[in-house]
């Protein structure tokens, strides 16, 4: 694998342009050209002379052989390997997509983020286990088990309580139960629908009701910090769910938390969600492929350019 990487680097030194892939499942109702993040990556790649292709995992096949070299097919045709890959599927990374990223890694193609870190943060409980082990502040979290032991839950949590799917984004799998009755109603529905489903219960960090921070990290640096606020009385602050965004001063404490969380989870690029807790913060989640329309709308930051510059610097490809 090392020699494969050296070959990539040698090629760049001879002045060839850098080739990158983004692996992204663009929602069916959005074409590549109209999808904000994809459009921005394409624009910035052009300016930096990076040959960029956007692929959905559906277009790619992998075949595992001993002679690995020509084992990736796009739309049925063997293709040359790119110099780097940006997997951008986040919590929607399927088993197939993970297998594809692992395959590219085995072939020596740098994937930023790595398959391991994407798999780790796709699971909110597992990420919290790692963060807590490293002594980083996380909301108290429990894996739901059926039948529900409500007495045990009441001993450790107070209402309102947050209920989340293990994996998810855009605030879609995040709910709140205001009291025991609504919690038990929700739990009963979940149990009947699928008693084997993995759901987490979480302490509601009340100071953060309807607001939180999003910190964007690229290559060991914070490139942006903003406050998100929901525009209704919803406790979720996601921009994609209709919230508003505003710049927020990056303190040493925020910077340290975001960088440390990103590092212990093994990510190179991340979006760290921080919950307000008095004058401190708790880590809500860490995203492996954060969206950035909201951040670019309120901060003077060029996210795809930061990401490409990081990749170019890291592999010493020059501009
Ligand atoms: N324990 C919590 N206490 C207070 N607010 C929370 C808590 N967990 C989530 N939220 C709110 O809900 C939003 C979505 O939760 P999150 O776990 O980040 O899910 P998603 O992956 O869908 O963004 C957060 O940005 C935050 O505003
Ligand atoms: Mg989130």
pLDDT of 9 over the 80 cut: no
Q: Based on the domain organization, do 105 and 166 belong to the same domain? A: no
Q: What is the mean pLDDT of residues 160-171?
A: 91
- Residue 185 sits in a domain of what CATH number? 3.30.1490.20
As beta bridge partners, residue 132 has: none
Q: Ligand 1: which atom is nearest the Cα of residue 230? A: 27
pLDDT of 33 over the 80 cut: no
Q: Ligand 1: which atom is nearest the Cα of residue 170? A: 22
Residue from 137, 176, 214, 273 to probe ligand 1 pocket by mutation (most atoms less than 8 Å from CB): 273
pLDDT of 31 over the 80 cut: no
At 218, which helix (H) or strand (E)?
Answer: strand 211-218
Percentage with pLDDT > 90 across the chain: 75
- The total number of structural domains in the chain stands at 3
Q: What is the mean pLDDT of residues 170-187?
A: 94
- Residue 300 sits in a domain of what CATH number? 3.30.470.20
Q: What is the mean pLDDT of residues 56-77?
A: 82
pLDDT of 271 over the 70 cut: yes
pLDDT of 303 over the 80 cut: yes
Specify if 135 maps to a domain.
no
Q: Which residues line ligand 1 (CB under 6 A)?
A: 139, 162, 164, 168-174, 202-205, 208, 212, 235-238, 273, 275, 284-285
User: What is the per-residue pLDDT across 88-114, written as a single tens digit (0 to 9) for each?
Assistant: 998 889 999 999 999 999 999 999 999
pLDDT of 121 over the 80 cut: yes
The confidence score (pLDDT) of residue 71 equals 81
The confidence score (pLDDT) of residue 5 equals 46
Specify if 212 maps to a domain.
yes
Nearest-ligand number for the alpha carbon of 164: 1
Residue 268 structure tokens: 């190179």
Q: Based on the domain organization, do 255 and 293 belong to the same domain? A: yes
User: What is the per-residue pLDDT across 193-218, written as a single tens digit (0 to 9) for each?
Assistant: 988 889 999 999 999 999 999 999 99
Nearest-ligand number for the alpha carbon of 206: 1
Specify if 269 maps to a domain.
yes
Q: Based on the domain organization, do 99 and 169 belong to the same domain? A: no
The confidence score (pLDDT) of residue 1 equals 41
Q: What is the DSSP pairing of strand 50-55 with strand 18-23?
A: parallel
Nearest-ligand number for the alpha carbon of 169: 1
Q: What is the mean pLDDT of residues 171-199?
A: 93
More confident residue, 231 or 122: 122
Q: Based on the domain organization, do 259 and 186 belong to the same domain? A: no
Q: What is the mean pLDDT of residues 130-139?
A: 98
| Rounded distance from Cα 263 to ligand 1 centre (Å) | 21
Q: Based on the domain organization, do 147 and 65 belong to the same domain? A: no
- Range(s) of the domain holding residue 233: 207-305
pLDDT of 41 over the 50 cut: yes
Closest CA to 298 of 219, 216, 236, 241: 216
**Whole-number Cα distances in Å, 46 to 28, 218, 225, 276, 284:** 25, 20, 27, 39, 35
Q: Based on the domain organization, do 109 and 32 belong to the same domain? A: yes
| Rounded distance from Cα 266 to ligand 2 centre (Å) | 18
Q: What is the mean pLDDT of residues 41-52?
A: 96
């Amino acid at each position: 694998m090392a020699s494969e990487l050296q070959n990539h680097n040698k090629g760049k030194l001879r002045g060839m342009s850098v080739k990158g892939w983004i692996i992204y499942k663009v929602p069916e109702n959005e074409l590549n050209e109209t999808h904000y993040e994809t459009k921005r990556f394409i624009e910035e790649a052009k300016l930096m002379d990076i040959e960029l292709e956007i692929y959905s995992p559906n277009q790619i096949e992998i075949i595992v052989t001993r002679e690995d070299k020509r084992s990736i097919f796009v739309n049925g045709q063997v293709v040359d390997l790119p110099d780097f890959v940006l997997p951008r599927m986040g919590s929607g990374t399927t088993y197939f997509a993970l297998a594809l990223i692992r395959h590219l890694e085995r072939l020596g193609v740098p994937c930023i983020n790595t398959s391991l870190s994407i798999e780790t943060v796709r699971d909110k409980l597992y990420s919290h286990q790692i963060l807590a082990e490293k002594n980083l502040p996380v909301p108290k979290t429990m894996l739901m088990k059926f039948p529900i032991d409500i007495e045990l839950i009441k001993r450790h949590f107070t209402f309102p309580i947050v209920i989340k799917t293990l994996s998810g984004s855009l605030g879609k799998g995040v709910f709140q139960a205001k009291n025991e009755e609504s919690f038990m109603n929700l739990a009963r529905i979940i149990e009947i629908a699928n008693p084997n489903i993995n759901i987490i219960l979480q302490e509601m960090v009340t100071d953060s009701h309807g607001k939180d921070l999003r910190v964007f990290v690229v290559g060991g640096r914070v490139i942006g910090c903003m406050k998100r606020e929901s525009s209704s009385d919803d406790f979720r602050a996601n921009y994609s769910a209709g919230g508003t965004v505003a710049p927020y001063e990056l303190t040493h404490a925020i910077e340290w938390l975001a960088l440390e969380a990103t590092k212990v989870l093994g990510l190179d690029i991340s979006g760290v969600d921080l919950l307000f807790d008095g004058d401190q913060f708790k880590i809500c989640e860490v995203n492996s492929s954060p969206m950035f329309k909201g951040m670019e709308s309120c901060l003077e930051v060029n996210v795809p350019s930061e990401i490409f510059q990081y990749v170019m610097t890291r592999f010493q490809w020059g501009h």
